[in-house]
Every structure is written in structure tokens, then in C-alpha cells.
A and B are shown apart, each in its own frame.
Chain A
Amino acid sequence: MSANAKPYGLIAEFENTSSVLHAAESVRNAGFRKWDVFTPFPIHGMDKAMGIKNSKVGWFSFLGGVIGYTSGMLMIWWMNAVDYQIIVGGKPMFSAHGAFPPSYELTILFGAFGAIGGMMFLNRLPKLHHPLLKHKRFALATHDKFFVVIETTDPKYSESETRKLLEVAGSKRIEMVEE
């Protein structure tokens, strides 16, 4: 441990979903802002316990879908009815029916891009470095343990008080993580 290592936050380990859910509730009630729960799988009810609002990913996907559909329709209209017209089987140069299937597929394609891109953007992924990933014990967050982390930069943070709060919440193992 180097002397100039800055503390990142307190990490508290929990054994099961119920205890981590209740711990999250008490951390939220204490008014913390810069904190998070780390779990191997999404826990039902955790968003509510942490006070997280509904995700905004849907808007990104909606925007993608709208772009996909309109660009599909416009592209087909411009290519086949404006830029280079060819008469085929007496069919109209542009028909919404004929243009619909490819535009429908593009709606889905761009909607999917929007959903994934939105998720990545909102989560700030990909991320090449995270202080927690250096912490040995934290590797279990993708295995079978549950963690609550409160960052030192939180205005409500105080080493002893915060540690006590996490102890009361039922954590048996609380450590300091360095930046």
C-alpha cells in the first residue's frame, strides 16, 4: 500500500440477497448519494430499495426505431422513385406496402442499436479501469457475494459513522478500498 493512495470508499460484504436489500434501504434512508450495490445478478426490488428511477434506455431505443423507419422509407422512395426509376411489372415506383418490410427491419435494427448504445452510454461502458476491480475480495461480486460500496466523496461520508451504519446493516466484513 503506497502512502499516497487515496481512499475510494468503504466496501461492505453481505452473504445473501435479503440482507443486502435491507442494507441498501438503510443506506438510502441515511441520505447517501454516491454509493452503489454490487451483485452477481439483478435482485428483484433493489431499484426500489436504492431509490433508482426507471431507466431511460427506452428513449434511446425509441429514437433509434424512429430513425430506422423514416430512413428506410425515405431511402427506398429516393432510390427507386426519384434517383433511378425502373418500371418493373407495372408496379408503382414507390408503394408504402413494398417499402414496409425493409423499413420494418431497419426499425428493429436501429431500435436495437439504440437500446444497446443507450445502455452503454448511461452505464459509461466500456470502462477500462475501476478502483473496485483491483480489490481482491470484489471478484466475488460476480460469483456469490453481495457488496455495498459508499464512496468517500459522498457529502455524508465519515469513516466511523458510515462504517457503523454498514455494521448495523449486518455486514461482517467491511474494508477500505483505495483509488
Chain B
Amino acid sequence: MSDVATDIKVPTVPAELVREPLVQNNRSFGWISDRVSAITEGKTPKWWWAAFIPSVCLLGMLGCMLFYQVTTGVGVWGNHHPTMWGWDIINFVWWIGIGHAGTLISAILFLMRQKWRTAVNRAAEAMTIFAVMCAGIYPAMHVGRVWFDWWLFPIPTYQGLWPQFRSPLMWDVFAVSTYFTVSALFWYVGLIPDLATMRDRAKTKIKQFIYGLFALGWTGSNRHWSNYEKAYLILAGLSTPLVLSVHSIVSLDFAVSQLPGWHTTIFPPYFVAGAVFSGFGMVLTLLIPLRSMCHLEDVITMRHIDVMCKVTLATGCIVSYAYIMEFVIAWYSGSAMEKFHFMNRALGPMWWGWIMMMGCNMIIPQLFWFKKVRSNLVVVFIMSIFVNIGMWFERFVIVVVGLYREFLPSNWDYFKPTWVDICTFLGTFGLFFTMFLLFMRFLPMIAVSEVKGVTPQADPHHPSAGGHGNGGKH
């Protein structure tokens, strides 16, 4: 024991291990709320109108298509024997899959303490909600007689008959409606502190009143924050098993049936990975243009894009593994029907669907291994669109290719979509973009309070916060 205390040598952090800050250029708290609120407070930019007007037109077209379909019948779509599920179910699964990235970012990355999520979670959660809205249209409409949709819910009817809970389609009703409700609530809870920011900045009485109403009287009290943070953590903890279960249950719509190509145990994990993959594709498609148009480069940084590319690559690899494994299992099963289905998938008349799926989901994402690609926004944007297209074709391969050549060759028939199929699908983009554009014009697109919380000066021990600087730098 010596009397003189020896200095502990703190090793300096090597340059390659120093992380880039989440908010660049050392921006202040005030800058963050000013920058994000400017999108909702300033004059409506011309590009917003240029995007909004066509979106509303497409939304109108969706209305016309649905009206035509309801008044005429499901026969206006290309669905026919043996392909009784066509674009309706493809688009349902595609849209709902897109939503999954929003929940992954908001819930799973929150539990994993991935602080970079704060810059993108608000927009991604909004994307989830609007994508689930687009998805919900299809199962509601494809039943044909939409005025009986309420039979899906356990509400007493005059026949005294109840929903049939032994069917996975009923499970889906509960999964999708819970998913929509919980996602919307999670999103709203996250918005409350930012709505208070908007209320306190509002210049007009009407704005003050509306933002104030939805901010519920939020003051930023730390006693409130304490309960709020706990509730947020629990919601993240609940949304994580929820998001995993939703696409698992969607996959059970297929896997519980007896069809070759559908009746596989690999479906739930493979669907979830595919959903996250397609969702990140859509997040990149949306945020790359938005960050430059809304001047958010310091908040949604190149590091964010880089990380999202890596998630896309990782989930893309999981999906590719599943694609290959399906063939292996078909071969190993010894079932003639299984083997035929997979030969037909790759070499049958709809081989092009399989090629699109493999090309866009398995081969193109491999470019994300290269840092040069991940840091080139134009390339990333184009690749993200390929991911969206590839995932649409994956569902096409599963649904249509799974059905059009069923057990009896005399039942085989080629599938072609009708113009109503195509216009309805384009119309859902109208709904999606109309909602998204309204969201970004009227609500804070970035989680202001959360981004403030991950800046260095938010840490009371950091020198920039007036702390004693035990963070390594003095």
C-alpha cells in the first residue's frame, strides 16, 4: 500500500472506434425543434403540391375502382379458378409487410438501445400505419359482399352464429386489427411531447387549440416523463412480439393449408424477415428524397442510411436462405407434388416471376456489402425500389404460382390481372402518399424530443452540458 495514489491510465479511444454523432454539426436543442417544425410552419413548398395533387388523383381512382368492384362483384378482378387469390392477397401481404419496418425501428431497435432510430422512427411509424390502411382494404374488399364484413368480428348476429376461430383467416383479423391499433397508439404516444412543442410554437389561435388538444396538456414534467418513459418501454416490449406475430399469422393463412409450396414450417420466420426487408426498402425510398427536400441532412445522416442498408442486406440474406431452403426441403421431402411445385416455380410458364424475385431480393441487395454503394444515395434509392419490386414478386410467386397449377392438370389455368386490379393497386399508392404527405405537412416528421435526448449535450455528464466531463474528454 503506497500513500501516493497512482494515476489510472485511461486509454484513448482509437479513431476508427469513435462513432459519428447522431446529429451532425453539433446542433443545439433549439435548432432541432426549429428545423423539424419549419417543415410544418413554413410556406407549402411547390414540390409538396407536385406530389400531393397526383396522389389525391390516384386516391380518387381507388375510390372509383372500389365502387365499381363493390357494385359489380369480385369478378372485375383477375381472380378465377384455380387462382382464387390474386392481386388482392399479393397486395395485402405486400403492404402489410412494408409496415413491419416501422415497428421494427420503433420497437425492436428501441429495446436494443439503437439510438440512431430516433431520427427515422416517427416517419417509419407513420409509414406503418398508412401501409396497414392500404393493406386492410384488400381483405375487406375481397370477400365480395363488403356489407357483411362485420361478421368477421365477434359481434352477435341475428343467426346466432359466431366467427370460426379454427380458421387462420380469423387469426389474421385479430392480428391485423391489433397491429393497426397498437401501431397507431404507439405513434400517438410518441407524438404527445412533440405536439406540445408544436402547441408552444404555434402563432395562430386555431393551431394552438388543435395542437393543444392533441397534446393533452403535456408540460414536460419529469414526474410525467417517468411514467411516460415506462409506458413507452412497455409499448416497445409489446410491439416486438406483436410485429413478429403479425406476419407469422399472415404466413399461417398459407402454411395451415395443404397446398404444396404453402404448407411449410419455414413460412413464419421467412415472412417476418421478408416483411422487414421490404419495409426497410420502403423507408429508404421515402427518406432519401425527403431528407434533402426538407433539409434534414444533419438529422437523418449518412450513418442512418448506412445502417438501414445493412439491415436490408441482413434481412435480404435471411430471405435468400429461405428461398434456397424451400427448394432443398422440396427435394428432401420426396413428395412428387412438392417437387413439381418448385420445378414449376423456376421453370414453368411463370418463371419470370421467380427470376424477378431472386434477382431483386437475393442478388441486387448483395451490392450493399460495399461501403461505396451504401454511401451513394442515388444507387441506394434505386436499389430500394428494386427491393420493393422484388418483394411484390415474392408474394406473386407464393400466391399465384402456388395456385395456377394445382393438383389436377385439368384444372390448370394461366393468371392475368385485369385493368381493375392494376388501377386498384395504383390507387392504394394514392392513399399511402396522400396520407404521408399530409402527415409530414402537419405533424413533426422527426421525433423532436427523442432526437434532443440523444445529442451529447443531453447527457448531464457531458462537457457540452456543463457537466464534469467524465465521458473521456476534458
> Which chain A residues have a beta carbon within 8 Å of chain B's beta carbons?
15-21, 24, 36-47, 50, 52, 54-58, 61, 75-76, 79-80, 83-84, 86, 88-89, 91, 95, 98-99, 101-102, 104-106, 108-109, 111-113, 115-116, 118-120, 122-123, 125-130, 132-133, 138-144
Query: Which residues of the other chain, B, contact A75 by a CB distance below 8 angstroms?
Result: 154
Judge whether B466 and A37 touch: CB under 8 Å. no
Set of chain A residues within 8 Å of B29, measured between Cβ atoms:
40-41, 143-144
| A112: chain B residues within 8 A (beta carbon) | 181-182, 185-186, 235, 238-239
Across the two chains, which residue of chain A brings its CB closest to B186? A112
B226 contacts A52, CB within 8 Å?
A: yes
A77 to chain B, nearest CB (A): 9
In the assembled complex, the Cα of A100 lies from the Cα of B29 at a distance in Å of 46
User: A101 to B230, Cβ gap below 8 A?
Assistant: no
**Which residues from chain B sit less than 8 Å from chain A, CB to CB?**
28-30, 33, 154, 160-168, 170-171, 174-175, 178, 181-182, 185-186, 189, 193, 196-197, 199-201, 216-231, 234-235, 238-239, 241-242, 245, 249, 252, 449-450, 452-453, 457-462, 465-468
Report the minimal beta-carbon distance from A67 to chain B, rounded to whole angstroms: 14
Given contacts A41-B450, A102-B174, A106-B174, contact A18 B461 (CB under 8 A): yes
Chain B CB within 10 Å, residue with most, of A39, A56, A140:
A39
Q: Which residues of A contact B181 (CB under 8 A)?
A: 109, 112
Please judge, given known A-B contacts A40-B452, A80-B164, whether A142 and B217 are in contact too, CB under 8 Å. Answer: no
Q: Is the CB of A99 within 8 A of B165?
A: yes
Q: Is A101 touching B171 in the complex (CB atoms < 8 A)?
A: yes
* Extra 12 A-B pairs, beta carbons < 8 Å, given A17-B458, A99-B165, A141-B220: A39-B225, A42-B222, A42-B225, A55-B226, A83-B160, A108-B178, A116-B189, A123-B227, A125-B216, A142-B33, A144-B30, A144-B33
A69 to chain B: closest CB distance in Å?
A: 12
Whether the pair B452, A41 counts as a contact (CB closer than 8 A) is yes
In the complex the two chains form, is A105's CB within 8 Å of B216's CB?
no
Contacts of A138 in B (CB 8 A): 219
Instruction: Specify which of B168, B227, B459 is in contact with A55 (CB 8 Å cutoff).
Output: B227
Q: How far is the CA of A119 from the CA of B201 in the complex (A)?
A: 25
Main SS of the interface on chain B? helix
What is the minimal beta-carbon distance from A87 to any residue of chain B, in angstroms?
10
Q: How far is A98 from B252 in the complex, measured between Cα atoms in Å?
A: 12
Q: Complex formed: what's the CA distance from A125 to B171 in Å?
A: 34
CA distance A130 to B216 in the complex (A): 11
**In the complex with contacts A36-B223, A101-B249, A125-B217, A43-B458 CB distance below 8 A:** yes
In order of increasing CB-CB distance, the 8 nearest A-B pairs are A127-B217, A119-B231, A79-B162, A126-B216, A55-B230, A144-B29, A139-B200, A18-B466
Q: Are A109 and B460 in contact (CB under 8 A)?
A: no
Most chain A CB atoms below 10 A, which of B196, B235, B462? B235
Within the assembled complex, what's the spacing in Å between the Cα atoms of A91 and B165?
11
Evaluate whether A39 and B222 lie within 8 angstroms (CB atoms) in the complex, with A84-B160, A108-B241, A143-B201 already known.
yes
Give Cα A39–Cα B460 distance, bound, in whole angstroms.
13
A133 cross-chain contacts in B, Cβ below 8 A:
217, 219
Contact of A102 among B30, B170, B218, B224 (CB under 8 A): B170
